[in-house]
A and B are shown apart, each in its own frame.
Chain A
Amino acid sequence: MVPGLSYSRPLSSAALSRNRPMQLTINGNPAEVAPRPGQCLRTLLREHGWYGVKKGCDAGDCGACTVWVDDNPVHSCLYPAFRAKDRHITTIEGLSPENGTLHPMQAQFLAAQGFQCGFCTAGTIMTAAAKGGAMRTPMERVLKGNLCRCTGYRAIRDAIEGRRHVQEDLPGASVGRSLGSPLGPALVTGQARFTADEPPLPGLLHLKVVRSPHAHAQVLAIRKEAALEVPGVHSIFTWEDVPQHRPFTSATHDDYHVDPDDTLMLDRVMRFVGQRVVLVAADSEQAAALACDKIEVDYEILPAVFDPEEAMRPDAPILHHGKDAASRISHPERNVLREIHGENGNVAAGFEEADVIVENTYATHRQPHVTLETHNSHSHLSPDGRLHVRTSSQTPFLTKVKLVYLFNLYPENLHVYTERVGGGFGGKQEVLTEDLCVLVTLKTGRPARWEFTREEEFTATTTRHPFRVKVKLGARRDGTLTAMSMRVVTNTGAYGNHGGEVLGHSLNEAFAVYRCPNKQADGYAVYTNCVPAGAFRGYGLTQTAYAVECAMDELASTLGMVPAALRRKNMIQPGDTLLSIWPHPGDLEIGSYGLAECLDLVEAALASGRGEPVPQSPEWCTGQGLALAMLDCGPPTEHRSEARIDLLANGSYQVAIGSAEFGSGSLTVQRQIAATVLGCPVESVKMVTADTDKTPYDTGTFASTGTLVGGGAVLAAAKVLKEQLLRLASRYTGQPIDSCQLSGAAVDCANHPLPLSELLARAEKEGHRLSAVRRAYAAPRSVAFNVHGFRVAVHRITGQVRILQSVHAADAGQVLNPMQCRGQVEGGVAQGIGWVLREDMQLTPEGRIANPTLRHFRIPAMADLPETEVYFAHTHDRIGPMGAKPMSESPVNPVAPALANAIANATGIRFTDLPLTAPRLYPTLAHRPTLPAQDIALS
Chain B
Amino acid sequence: MDLHHITAQQSPQTPDEVQTWEPGLAWLAGGTWLFSEPQPVLHTLLDMGNFNWPSLQAVEETGLEIAATCTIAQLHAFGGSTGVPASWQAFPLIQTCCESLQSSFKIWNEATVGGNLCLGLPAGALISLAVALEGTCVLWPRQDLPRSVSALEFVTGVQQTVLRPGELLRSIHLPASALRKQPAFRRFSQTQEGRSSALLIGTRCPVTAEILLTITAATVRPVQLRFATPPGARDLAASLEAAILPTAYFSDPHGTADHRRHLVHYFAPQIIEELA
Enumerate chain A interface residues (CB-CB to B < 8 A): 1-10, 12, 14-15, 17, 19, 36-40, 42-43, 58-61, 63, 66, 72-75, 77-80, 82-83, 127, 130, 132, 136, 140-146, 285-286, 289-290, 293, 453, 797-800, 838, 840, 842, 850-851, 855-858, 860-861, 863-864, 917-919, 922-923, 926, 937-939
Contact = CB atoms under 8 A, between A and B. Distances in A.
A90 to B, nearest CB: 14
Given A37-B9, A863-B192, A2 B17 contact: yes
Contact of A40 (B35, B107, B192, B266): B35
A799 B45 contact: no
Q: Number of contact residues on B: which range applies?
A: 35 or more
A79 B107 CA distance: 10
7 contacts: A59-B36, A63-B106, A74-B110, A142-B104, A858-B190, A861-B193, A864-B191
Given A37-B9, A72-B109, 8 more contacts: A1-B19, A7-B20, A14-B7, A38-B4, A130-B106, A453-B1, A842-B253, A938-B265
Contact of A918 (B11, B38, B190, B237): B190
Nearest to A4: B19
Contacts of B18: 4-5, 7
B31 interface: yes
Contact of B104 (A40, A144, A838): A144
Contacts of A145: 103-107
A136 B47 contact: no
Contacts of B194: 858, 861
Contact of A863 (B3, B43, B193, B197): B193
Given A4-B20, A38-B2, A919-B256, A78 B192 contact: no
B60 interface: no
Interface string B243-265: 00000000011111011001101
B109 A73 contact: yes
Nearest to A917: B190
B191 A838 contact: yes
B9 A286 contact: no
B28 interface: yes
6 nearest A-B residue pairs (beta carbon): A4-B19, A38-B6, A145-B104, A38-B3, A863-B192, A919-B259
A10 B252 contact: no
Given A4-B17, A63-B106, A939-B262, A80 B28 contact: yes
Contacts of A9: 7, 22, 24, 43-44
A474 B195 CA distance: 45
A595 B59 CA distance: 68
Contacts of B262: 797-798, 922, 926, 938-939
Contacts of B237: 937
Contact of A855 (B102, B110, B233, B266): B102
Contacts of B104: 63, 127, 141-146
A75 B256 contact: no
Main DSSP-derived SS at the B contact region:
loop
Given A1-B19, A293-B40, A918-B259, A285 B2 contact: yes
B8 A7 contact: yes
A83 B8 CA distance: 14
Contacts of A851: 253
B10 interface: yes
B1 A4 contact: no
Contact of A7 (B46, B99, B256): B46
A544 to B, nearest CB: 27
Contact of A78 (B36, B190, B191): B36
A33 to B, nearest CB: 14
Nearest to A841: B253
Contacts of A143: 104
Contacts of A937: 233, 237
Contacts of B43: 9-10
Contact of A938 (B12, B102, B197, B266): B266
B55 interface: no
Contact of A864 (B17, B49, B192, B253): B192
B32 interface: yes
B258 A923 contact: yes
B37 interface: yes
Contact of A127 (B20, B106, B263): B106
A127 to B, nearest CB: 7
A60 B4 contact: no
A891 B116 CA distance: 41
Contacts of A40: 1-3, 35
B7 A286 contact: no
B147 interface: no
Chain B CB count within 10 A is highest, among A58, A61, A82, A938, for: A938
Contacts of A43: 2
A82 B106 contact: no
Interface string B93-106: 00000010011111
Interface in B31-77: 31-32, 35-40, 43-47, 49
B154 interface: no
B16 to A, nearest CB: 5
A856 B49 CA distance: 29
Contacts of A939: 262, 265
A858 B46 CA distance: 32
B274 to A, nearest CB: 15
B99 A77 contact: no
Given A58-B1, A141-B99, A37 B7 contact: yes
B55 to A, nearest CB: 15
B105 A38 contact: no
B119 interface: no
B191 A861 contact: yes
Contact of A286 (B2, B35, B105): B2
B19 A850 contact: no
Given A5-B12, A145-B103, A918-B190, A60 B22 contact: no
Most buried by B among A38, A286, A860, A864: A38
Q: Looking at B3, B14, B49, which has the most chain A CB atoms within 10 Å of its CB? A: B3
Given A74-B109, A919-B256, A861 B35 contact: no
Contacts of A82: 9, 11, 47
B263 A798 contact: yes
Nearest to A293: B40
B255 A919 contact: yes
B31 A80 contact: yes
Contact of A17 (B7, B10, B107, B233): B7
B188 interface: yes
Given A4-B17, A5-B18, A80 B35 contact: yes
Interface string B176-207: 00000000000010111111010000000000
Given A38-B6, A59-B37, A856 B188 contact: no
A77 B35 contact: yes
A10 B22 CA distance: 13
B275 interface: no
A358 to B, nearest CB: 30
Nearest to B36: A59
Interface in B157-173: none
For B8, B14, B30, B99, which residue has the most chain A Cβ atoms within 10 angstroms? B8
A809 B71 CA distance: 47
A8 B190 CA distance: 44
Max chain A Cβ within 10 angstroms of own Cβ: one of B31, B38, B191: B191
A182 to B, nearest CB: 31
A906 B192 CA distance: 21
A7 B43 CA distance: 10
A127 B49 CA distance: 24
A143 B25 CA distance: 34
Nearest to A66: B106
A792 B150 CA distance: 44
B253 A290 contact: no
A281 to B, nearest CB: 16
A132 B72 CA distance: 14
Nearest to A146: B104
A490 to B, nearest CB: 24
